[in-house]
Structure formats: structure tokens, C-alpha cells
């Protein structure tokens, strides 16, 4: 069973994951308007992954006899200066999410909640991949600063990202 404090923290993380999804969907719409379909696709897949993360936590709260309490999701930005600015924001956001996950782990450890700590280790590892993935695109965009044609090559590359695969539903 979850403590009230851990339950509230996990519910806040569900909200943060939904916000992340909403943010990446907004970024995808921005890129689509610029006719950067590969960027838009990469970000749409990222939005889908964040929904999957939210549902993993949702299912875990229920498995631990907790109560999921959904709250309002803040509106994300809708404009950026450039694709570079989009990925600067993406990388910064992933660093923020990593900090949120780390705080959840710290709480689980402080409460000796071994089950939640074990569960959260998947997210700790996932955040390493999330940050690396966003940073890889960011670094490529920085290299392309003086080669606008390269933007279209990168757009094509990003369009090859495979779709997110949701986990099997909890039973």
C-alpha cells in the first residue's frame, strides 16, 4: 500500500507525464506547420511515449491499492523561434523530468518503500535514454547552424524513428 505522500507524488508525476505528452504534441504541431514532417513525427512519437509513461504510473498506483487523482494539465507553449529552439526546450524538459523522477526515488527511499523504488528504477533508466536522444538531435541541429540544407537531411532521418510500443495492459 502506498503512503498518502507517495500516492500524491505519483499522481503529480502522472500529471507531469501528461504535460510532457502535451508539450511534445504542441512541438510536433509547430514543426508540422513548418513542413518538417520528420521532426513532427519524432515529436509525435515522443508524445506517445510520455502517455505510455503516464499509464505505467497510473497502473502502478492502482496495483498498490492507491487512488489515481487526475488534475488539470497546464497549457504548453505553441511557438518557438526555430527547430533548434524546440530541441533546446526538449532537452531542458527531459532534464526537468529526470529531476522529478529522482525526487520520487528519494521519497521512496526515505519511506522505505522498496516496491515503489524498484518500480521507479525503470524510469531512472528511461530518463538516461530520453536525455541522450533529445541531446543527440540538439547537437546535430547545432552542427547544422551554417548548413540549412542539412536541416532537410536531419528531417528525413528523424522521420525514420519507430513508433512507441505500449506495454501490455495491467490485469
Specify the pLDDT at position 158.
Answer: 94
DSSP string across 121-133: HHHHHHHHHHHHH
**Does residue 164 belong to any structural domain of this protein?**
no
Query: Which pLDDT value is given to residue 168?
Result: 66
Give the residue numbers spanning the domain of 66: 4-158
How many other C-beta atoms can be found within 10 angstroms of the C-beta atom of residue 137? 22
For residue range 131-145, what is the model confidence (pLDDT) as tens digits?
999 999 999 999 997
Comparing CA positions, the residue from 143, 155, 164 lying closest to residue 55 is 164
Question: What is the reported pLDDT for 169?
Answer: 64
In the chain, how many domains are there? 1
Cα dihedral 81, 82, 84, 86 in deg (nearest 10)? 70
- Reported as a single tens digit per residue, the pLDDT across 84-122 is 999 999 999 999 999 999 999 999 999 999 999 999 999
Please write the tens of the pLDDT for every residue from 25-70: 999 999 999 999 999 999 999 999 999 999 999 999 999 999 999 9
Quote the pLDDT of residue 170: 62
Looking at residue 150, which CATH number applies to its domain? 1.20.1260.10
Q: What is the pTM of this model?
A: 0.92
Residue 171 falls inside a structural domain: no
In a domain, 47, yes or no: yes
Amino acid at each position: 500500500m502506498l503512503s498518502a505522500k507517495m500516492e500524491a507524488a505519483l499522481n503529480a508525476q502522472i500529471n507531469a507525464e501528461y504535460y510532457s505528452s502535451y508539450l511534445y504534441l504542441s512541438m510536433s504541431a509547430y514543426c508540422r506547420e513548418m513542413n518538417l514532417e520528420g521532426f513532427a513525427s519524432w515529436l509525435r512519437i515522443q508524445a506517445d511515449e510520455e502517455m505510455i509513461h503516464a499509464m505505467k504510473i497510473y497502473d502502478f498506483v492502482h496495483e498498490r491499492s492507491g487512488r489515481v487523482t487526475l488534475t488539470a494539465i497546464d497549457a504548453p507553449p505553441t511557438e518557438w523561434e526555430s527547430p533548434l529552439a524546440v530541441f533546446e526546450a526538449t532537452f531542458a524538459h527531459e532534464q526537468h523530468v529526470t529531476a522529478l523522477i529522482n525526487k520520487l526515488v528519494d521519497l521512496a527511499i526515505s519511506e522505505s518503500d522498496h516496491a515503489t523504488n524498484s518500480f521507479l528504477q525503470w524510469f531512472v533508466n528511461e530518463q538516461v535514454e530520453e536525455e541522450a536522444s533529445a541531446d543527440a538531435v540538439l547537437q546535430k541541429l547545432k552542427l547544422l547552424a551554417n548548413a540549412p540544407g542539412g536541416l532537410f537531411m536531419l528531417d528525413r532521418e528523424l522521420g525514420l524513428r519507430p513508433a512507441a510500443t505500449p506495454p501490455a495492459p495491467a490485469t
